[in-house]
Structure 1
Amino acid sequence: MSEPRPTGALSNVSLARRAWNIRRKALQMGEVQGQGYVGQALGIADVLAASYFHAMEYRPDDPEWEGRDRFLLSIGHYAIALYAVLMEAGIIPEEELETYGMDDSRMPMSGMASYTPGMEITGGSLGHGLGIAVGMAMGLKRKDNPAFVYNLMSDGELGEGSTWEAAMAAGHHRLGNLVCLVDFNDQQADDKSTTVMSAEPVTDKFEAFGWHAQRVDGNDLDAVVAAFDAARSAPEGKPRVIVFDTRMCKGVPFLEEREITHFVRVEADEWGKALAILEEGKPQ
């Protein structure tokens, strides 16, 4: 059985390679099905790389190890992004990439905990992830388990009342083992999230509930790593939140420049083009 991976083991150069690999795997899975939420996967890849290869402790060969840090995917439709990092981390064999979204695959198009190693919760209706994370964090705290709970959620979920009930509970119960990661790409199904229901100023609201709050460029790896470090060293008893401003389709300029909506359509002849462009920008 492997030992837990030491926190902070990789340099930012190595993390950039991990993020690049996550983007490549997401595009490859998207090509398998001819669709998928690849815009979100490309945008959140830097945050996922820092989560799994800088901040978190886990055992790839024992995904249910009791001492692991928990990573909750509140946004179930981002599953393609989480599968990519789970493969990169060695929790899911990379050979399964070609099965994405297929019948009997362990990687359905929306995340389901019953199917996928390393998938802690089943994604469904948005706005529930932070509440589940609060419950997990409370349970770990009561068992004196030092593990952290990381909850990745979307900016659209900031419009859900359940999110703010959970935020209030986390502050009240002084859950210093909880880290909420907010992907702020300003997109949701109906329009920009700031147009549908603006939650600004986001960090001020979390701070009002007793959280340690930060906001950084989610596609700047140096800033992302520094934010994770600051979150882990935040005052004891404060839940932590990092709001990451990300760009959909980051790393593939012709998709970045497209008029972006919640679901980015990639034509059949564009998958190879996107992978080739990504290859040109591979970190050395």
Structure 2
Amino acid sequence: MSQLTHDRPPAAAAPLEDRVERVAAAAYRMRHYALNMGEVQGQGYVGQALGSADIMAAVYADQLRFKPDEPEWEGRDRFLLSTGHYAIGHYAALAEAGIVPVDELDTYGSDDSRLPMSGMASYTPGMEISGGSLGHGLGVAVGIALGLRFQGSDARVFNFLSDGELDEGSTWEAAMGAHHHQLGNLTAMVDINALQADGKTDTVLRTEPLTEKWEAFGWFTQRVDGNDPEQLVRAFSNASEQASTTGHPSMILCDTLVGRGVPLLENREKAHFMRIDESEWQICRDQLTAGFEAATHEGTARS
């Protein structure tokens, strides 16, 4: 399985079709990594990892500036995982990026592992902040983006949030702060999978219409199918084109499906924290491979 090895994002240099293929292939491998990690524990936030794989692949395979062998390189772009329980998906991205060894994924959630079930910056290379209680990530992202500007750095900050996290008032305070300080070096994305621990998002606290709200808060806002690599690549490109040291922060709202790519899990109830039978893991991998190969064949036939 190939891995990313760049310290500059390839977005400006490669044709759109190549970039989309790169992201789709990375997301496919990341989903496999997530399933393999989930099997170690027999359960976990596997559905979120599968659903958000395309988003994280678009960031790491197409946008983020980093050095795999130097995770704390001063010139790196920062990716902040606001939702600590999505760590399994982030570890898959870090493995694809070459920052975490693929073999180390087998230690996921184990004693003395660098890959705990909730993201911890003190343990994991490439993990910028520790996750836990929701609602803190965007505030930290605002502070980092402002600090980078004061340092004269051209590094960008990418912040991953969930739709349930938009229930938190601190998120909206940070949104106002980003606009107030004109943090054009900040791009945030929201995984809108319509599900949270206590039920469907719109029954816990209705936050729509999200596009209009983020625009009203002064953000350059786009809404896309978060499981469509081409839409994601285009959206991140649009955000990159208007990124600057001073300007509008960017928001990409991503509608996704929990368990995406594995039909067995896409329709499973109580999908926030999945318990998957021992006999089902290989079925999940087979379904993932079959779906990816079918999509790849269809794309080849069209071209």
Report the TM-score range of the alignment, normalised by the length of the smaller protein: over 0.9
Deviation larger for 232-241 or 208-217:
232-241
Residue deviations 1:103-146, cap 9 Å, x none?
Answer: 11000011000000000000010000000000000000111101
| Residue in 2 that maps onto 1:264 | 274
Give unmatched runs, 5+ long, in structure 1.
none
Q: Which of these residues, 9, 23, 30, is aligned with residue 6 of structure 1?
A: 9
Residue deviations 1:126-167, cap 9 Å, x none?
Answer: 000000000000000111101110000100011100000000
Q: Which of these residues, 273, 277, 284, is aligned with residue 287 of structure 2?
A: 277
2:190 and 2:83 mapped to 1: Cα distance?
10
Deviation larger for 176-185 or 195-204:
195-204
Q: Kindly provide the amino acid, as one letter, of the partner of residue 275 in structure 1.
A: R
| Residue in 2 that maps onto 1:53 | 61
* 1:126 counterpart = 2:147: no
8 A contact 1:43–1:248 mirrored in 2: yes
Report deviation, 1:209. Answer: 1.5
| Residue in 1 that maps onto 2:85 | 77
Q: Kindly provide the amino acid, as one letter, of the partner of residue 193 in structure 2.
A: N
RMSD of the alignment, in Å? 1.3
8 A contact 1:7–1:57 mirrored in 2: no
Give unmatched runs, 5+ long, in structure 2.
297-303
8 A contact 1:175–1:239 mirrored in 2: yes
| Residue in 2 that maps onto 1:136 | 144
| Residue in 2 that maps onto 1:225 | 233
2:277 and 2:261 mapped to 1: Cα distance?
17
Superposed counterparts of 1:210-221, under 5 Å: 210-221=218-229
Report deviation, 1:279. Answer: 2.0
1:3 and 1:89 mapped to 2: Cα distance?
9
1:229 and 1:69 mapped to 2: Cα distance?
15
Alignment: residue pair count:
283
2:34 and 2:65 mapped to 1: Cα distance?
23
8 A contact 2:19–2:233 mirrored in 1: no
Tell me the TM-score normalized by structure 2.
0.90
Q: Kindly provide the amino acid, as one letter, of the partner of residue 279 in structure 2.
A: D
Superposed counterparts of 1:202-217, under 5 Å: 202-217=210-225
Tell me the TM-score normalized by structure 1.
0.96
Deviation larger for 28-37 or 113-122:
28-37
Report deviation, 1:11. Answer: 2.4
| Residue in 2 that maps onto 1:248 | 258
2:218 and 2:74 mapped to 1: Cα distance?
28
2:229 and 2:9 mapped to 1: Cα distance?
19
Deviation larger for 61-70 or 3-12:
3-12
% identical equivalent positions: 58
Q: Which runs of 4+ in 1 moved over 3 A?
A: none
